[in-house]
Structure 1
Amino acid sequence: MAETAKVSYSDIFYEEAQNVLQTLEEFHQLSSIELENEQLRDMLYEINGDIAHGINKIKQNLNYLMRNVEWETFNLSFFGETNAGKSTLIEALQRGNGRLIGDGSKDYTKSLTNKTLKNVNLLDMPGIEGNERKYISEIKKGVEKSHVVFYVIGTNKEPEEQTLRKIKSYLKDQAKVYSIINVRSKPNPYILKKGLTDNSLKLIEERTKEKFSEILGDHYVDNLIVHAHLGFLSVGSPLRDDLKRDQEKMKTIFGSPTNAYEFSNLSKIEGLIEHLSESSIKEIAISNTYKFFSCLEEVTSRILKGKKGFDETIKSLKFQIKECLDSSRDAVRSCQNNVLNLIDIKVDKMQSNMQKIIYDGIDNQWGETRIKSELHSEKARFEEETKDSLDKIIKELTEDIQSNMIQLQRRMDLEFKFSGYKNSDFNISNIISKMQIGMKYVLGQILDLGFSVIGIIVAFVFNPVLGIITGVISLMKKIWEWFFGDPNKRKREAKSMAYDEIRNLVQKIKKEARANTDKEFKNLDRSIQNTLLTVDHFIREVEKLSFSMNDRISDLAHSKVEIGKSMVANIEERSVEFAYFDLKLAQGMIIGEAATSATTRSYRLNKLDRYPNVGVLMVNIYPDQKEGYFYLKSPQEFTYRAFSNLIDYYKKTDESFAIKGVRRMKNGENLSNR
């Protein structure tokens, strides 16, 4: 019956693990590319590729762990300092011949060695305080396979804190840990007289337990004291001469192998292993699941870390880009006003100068040729002055837009420099640089629009001047006919008539020039707005990556809950409605019948919240509800995480579930004021 449960859970475990890997695979297809602009579409595709590359690195690590998870054998690893007696203890447990026992040289165990004791697989790993860099792959391989770790301390001394930190970095909180103090000495009358333990050793044991508990937390179980060498000599069959001599000496001092065996305390180690072996199915289930959870939590943490940097960067860039584009539009509007003012000033001046030319022509009775020459000279002066002024206005517009773009570039550079996400699996640098290119391209389009409209404006301002000259000449012919045909008419009346006609003609043309100029600037503004829509679309497409990441993160959390439920059901053999474990916080929550039998210690946690049903949970945490959200009063991080996962789990399993999510309520906050 137990075997069936084990196989069933392992099948469920692998199925959900494959779902996790599939979810990570879907990060490669995060966004549908719909941009019409090919250059921006390619940039968005490359941004997506950078994120997918980071996710793929995580997926490879998870795949590696899956290949090293074992279900059929209970793996007990012997880990610790060089020459502490790990191999000697294994030889004693196996009643071996001493082949694995070192001769005192450093790093005697150079590779992961497997030995079998009944249904338990014993893993002897290279020493940690020697040159373990040479054997790091072997050490990690052994730790990843381990369900329980025996850390052996040799030379009758407590472990150094630095060494324990090394242990934790290798273990990654993945297994139960027992410390074993191995009393190292040859058989001698002194040790028999003082006993296996003395006050000095008891003090070392006390400090050992304190240090292990402090660093390894609830994963540390207990300490045992053993004399591995005496244990081996009492039960083994040594082949080496030095070991044979020690065995004979042991018999002389202790009287019999049985007495030495009892003195060595080897029986307690064997009793513990037998107990662990009997509960190996549950130990395997918990250890393998926690190994996977540990990796999954790391995966999720790294994704969230990269996503946080990504989201903050996008949010900041959206503001900066909008600010840059708004400033550019303001510069264009200012340019428009300056151009219109220029038209008014220059055309009015041209009108005044043309009237003066006509007055002089009337006073001095100039002919048509002289009038044309004077008017064309005025036209050339008008065009030169107006063009110079227009060039200056457009130069200012260009400098304003370029200044905005340079300022945006500097802000984007600073955004990355101080983002603090350099160690993330997501290459934020590449993502930002591609967005910089995209924004340069878009803003460049605005700049090009500004240049192109100037030619149109010049055409509308300059070309009508020819019409003014033609009209003035035609008017002069009428004035000459009227004035010279009737010499009694006064020159003042002729000038007044000329003034009115020229003013009307020039003002009409100026009005048309202003209208056409205003029309072209409106076209320019519409073009900028269309460009803004392109920017907005680009940003929205980039944001879709983040939204898709939210969905995939939710999928990962859902798989974790499903695995947790199956693990608890397998161990407790009772129904489970919901199960959530957070190894970083060393806390868990179980809802359902299984909550009645589950214990905190059996799940290696600091705290395990147990509820027979969701109703009891709701009574305990009593969340407020408003606008589709639950608001939690509890300041505890684990309660918020667990309840959020519970709500997300129901949302995925029940389409009619109406709650949108969970939010924190600030101290003293009243929802009625929201």
Structure 2
Amino acid sequence: MVYVNGTNKKPETTTARKIKSYLEYGTQVYPLINARGYADDYEFEEDREDLCRQSGADNTLRQTVDVLAPVLGAEVLLEGHCVQGMLAFSALAYDDSTQSTTIHPSREHNLAVSQQEYFSVFPDPLEMRAFSQIDAVARTIRNKVATFREDIVESNKGKVREMLGQYLQVLETQLAGHRTFLKGAEPEFDKCRAAFRNAIAEFERRIVNNRRNRWNTFFNGLNEASDAIVEDDFGDSDAISQRIQREFKTRRTGVEADMLKDTEQAVEVLQQQMLHAVERLLEDIKHVEFQQRVGFTCSGGLDFGKDMVLGYDLGLGDFGSMAFKIGSYAMTGGTIGSAFPIVGTAIGAIAGALVGVVMTVIGFFTRKASKIRKAQVNVLEYLDGEREKALDGVADEASKLVATINKELEIGLLKKVNDMQSALQQPITIFETQITRITRLKNQLEKMPYGTIQAVQY
């Protein structure tokens, strides 16, 4: 682009901005100052020594460059020149072979008159042409014509480099934003896992307390029933044995049902607590994403040229919402399960022990039939011993139950939470890979010789 300014016109920043709006990628600007001057201005020989200095065009050229460079960029500007357009026209519009003007007769009263006035001052058209500096302008234009193809290639390369640079800026901004998002989301995942651990610990405490209470209630009732049976049927060992066993079986059925019910209720509470932890995790991630989106919006968007087409949206929402797409399945079917150790196993062990207790106590009846109370005490002592064994085994039973739940959790809900966090890391790899590739491509373009294009390696 050739920008021509006159010596009587001060350059303005608004003009420079308007010029910039016209420029395409790789376009350069050639500033020219058109010096005005009548024939009388060049009457003396010293007036014809330096066109720029004589007309003050050199100052105007310097001012013009000072205004254009900050707006357009120094690399966009070619070296400027001063030219006396009317003088150059007058010198060129003359045929030496016929010694006559080539100006159209319709302009004989203005352009032709000015030409004759210049001829009256300058010795010949060649000196007029040399002084006008039109040849410097011609050389600049010819030089650009000579490298026209290379300039087009370089212009296109510059356009591609600029687009790649903008693309890199987008990727780097999104990468930084996603890292910030992950940093904010990480504590929420930790809180979810901690909620799982706390829920299981609470479950274990509930199981232990419930079973201890059930065993104590079971043995308290069995003790009272045994006292009554020994007193009622003292001396009849068969009757005592049968009644105590029937009492045990009746109470066993009840306590087994109660323990199973306690376990089911505890599992239901555990399920609700864990699913609530996942729901809270998703809400917290949504909050982190919202804060990140607000921060990105407030920081201002990137301004692309009309030719910059990414082909897909790189908004933060694409990756923030990924948490909910991935996490949604954690809310469906993510239950704790029902593969727990059978409660009746422990009760069955007590049943076997009680049979031995009753058979042993019979020996006291036959040897010490006269002392009912002593027989009752001996029965209670044996029952209390079994009570302690049952209570001592509660913690181990609860631990086995928790171990089963932990195993299901690790391959179920916890795995889904961990998978969700891992999936949120994937965009980091995608961004980093793209940044590496685009940077490599941009570097290869920058290293290519001027005006050439070569195959690139990804």
Above 0.5 in TM-score? yes
Structure 1 pair 239–430 and aligned structure 2 pair: CA distance change class (3 A): farther
Structure 1 pair 412–345 and aligned structure 2 pair: CA distance change class (3 A): farther
Tell me which of 403, 406, 421 is aligned to 1:525: 406
Relative to its length, the structure with more strand (as a share) is 1
Which letter maps to 1:407? D
Map of 1:89-168 to 2, 5 A cutoff? 150-153=2-5, 156-168=8-20
Q: CA deviation at 1:357?
A: 3.2
Which letter maps to 1:524? I
Deviations 1:252-299 (A, max 9, x none): 654589598667654432232123334556655654443443333333
Paired with 1:175 and 1:213, the residues of 2 have a C-alpha distance of 14
Q: CA deviation at 1:461?
A: 4.6
Tell me which of 139, 159, 168 is aligned to 1:300: 168
Task: Name 1:271's counterpart in structure 2.
Answer: 139
1:429 corresponds to 2:296? no
Task: Name 1:174's counterpart in structure 2.
Answer: 26
Paired with 2:108 and 2:403, the residues of 1 have a C-alpha distance of 103
Residues paired across the two proteins, number: 416
Task: Name 1:214's counterpart in structure 2.
Answer: 70
1:415 corresponds to 2:303? no
Task: Name 1:328's counterpart in structure 2.
Answer: 195
Q: Structure 1 stretches of 5 or more lacking a match?
A: 1-77, 79-149, 572-648, 654-674
Paired with 2:103 and 2:182, the residues of 1 have a C-alpha distance of 69
Map of 1:514-663 to 2, 5 A cutoff? 514-531=395-412, 532=414, 543=425, 546-547=428-429, 550-567=432-449
Instruction: Pick the structure with greater CA Rg.
Output: 2
- Give yes or no for contact 1:158–1:205 (8 Å, CA) kept in 2: no
Map of 1:393-472 to 2, 5 A cutoff? 399-400=276-277, 402-419=279-296, 423=301, 426-442=314-330, 444=331, 448-450=334-336, 452-453=337-338, 460-461=342-343
1:498 corresponds to 2:380? yes
Tell me which of 111, 114, 130 is aligned to 1:250: 114
Local SS of the residue matching 2:334: helix
Q: CA deviation at 1:176?
A: 3.6
Map of 1:6-21 to 2, 5 A cutoff? none
Task: Name 1:34's counterpart in structure 2.
Answer: none
- Give yes or no for contact 1:412–1:432 (8 Å, CA) kept in 2: yes
Paired with 1:354 and 1:255, the residues of 2 have a C-alpha distance of 138
- Give yes or no for contact 1:172–1:294 (8 Å, CA) kept in 2: no
Which letter maps to 2:63? R
- Give yes or no for contact 1:231–1:264 (8 Å, CA) kept in 2: yes
Paired with 1:238 and 1:362, the residues of 2 have a C-alpha distance of 144
Deviations 1:30-61 (A, max 9, x none): xxxxxxxxxxxxxxxxxxxxxxxxxxxxxxxx
Which letter maps to 1:275? N
Which letter maps to 1:157? K
Structure 1 pair 213–386 and aligned structure 2 pair: CA distance change class (3 A): same
Paired with 1:222 and 1:309, the residues of 2 have a C-alpha distance of 44
- Give yes or no for contact 1:174–1:294 (8 Å, CA) kept in 2: no
Paired with 1:404 and 1:298, the residues of 2 have a C-alpha distance of 35
- Give yes or no for contact 1:152–1:179 (8 Å, CA) kept in 2: yes
Paired with 1:536 and 1:491, the residues of 2 have a C-alpha distance of 63
Local SS of the residue matching 1:151: strand
Local SS of the residue matching 2:335: helix
Per mean C-alpha deviation after superposition, the further-off stretch among 529-538 and 202-211 is 529-538
Paired with 2:161 and 2:200, the residues of 1 have a C-alpha distance of 58
Local SS of the residue matching 2:29: strand
Local SS of the residue matching 1:449: coil
Paired with 2:75 and 2:28, the residues of 1 have a C-alpha distance of 8
Local SS of the residue matching 2:322: helix
Paired with 1:400 and 1:192, the residues of 2 have a C-alpha distance of 93
Paired with 1:329 and 1:285, the residues of 2 have a C-alpha distance of 62
- Give yes or no for contact 1:156–1:181 (8 Å, CA) kept in 2: no
Local SS of the residue matching 1:567: coil
Structure 1 pair 405–552 and aligned structure 2 pair: CA distance change class (3 A): closer
Q: CA deviation at 1:522?
A: 1.7
Which letter maps to 2:145? S
Q: CA deviation at 1:180?
A: 2.4
Task: Name 2:305's counterpart in structure 1.
Answer: none
Which letter maps to 1:270? A
Relative to its length, the structure with more helix (as a share) is 2
Local SS of the residue matching 2:449: helix
Structure 1 pair 384–339 and aligned structure 2 pair: CA distance change class (3 A): same
Structure 1 pair 373–439 and aligned structure 2 pair: CA distance change class (3 A): closer
Structure 1 pair 315–385 and aligned structure 2 pair: CA distance change class (3 A): closer
Local SS of the residue matching 1:448: coil
Paired with 1:524 and 1:170, the residues of 2 have a C-alpha distance of 70
Task: Name 2:204's counterpart in structure 1.
Answer: 337
| TM-score, normalised by the number of residues in structure 1 | 0.48
Paired with 1:560 and 1:393, the residues of 2 have a C-alpha distance of 56
- Give yes or no for contact 2:87–2:118 (8 Å, CA) kept in 1: no
Q: CA deviation at 1:567?
A: 0.7
Structure 1 pair 502–553 and aligned structure 2 pair: CA distance change class (3 A): same
Q: Structure 2 stretches of 5 or more lacking a match?
A: 94-101, 234-239, 303-312
Which letter maps to 1:353? N
Task: Name 2:80's counterpart in structure 1.
Answer: 223
Structure 1 pair 552–386 and aligned structure 2 pair: CA distance change class (3 A): closer
- Give yes or no for contact 1:336–1:518 (8 Å, CA) kept in 2: no
| TM-score, normalised by the number of residues in structure 2 | 0.66
Paired with 2:105 and 2:220, the residues of 1 have a C-alpha distance of 122
Q: CA deviation at 1:362?
A: 4.7
- Give yes or no for contact 1:328–1:400 (8 Å, CA) kept in 2: yes
Which letter maps to 2:409? I
Local SS of the residue matching 1:157: coil
Paired with 1:396 and 1:540, the residues of 2 have a C-alpha distance of 23
Paired with 2:190 and 2:103, the residues of 1 have a C-alpha distance of 82
Higher relative contact order (Cα pairs below 8 Å, separated by 6+ residues): 2
Task: Name 1:603's counterpart in structure 2.
Answer: none
Structure 1 pair 266–314 and aligned structure 2 pair: CA distance change class (3 A): same
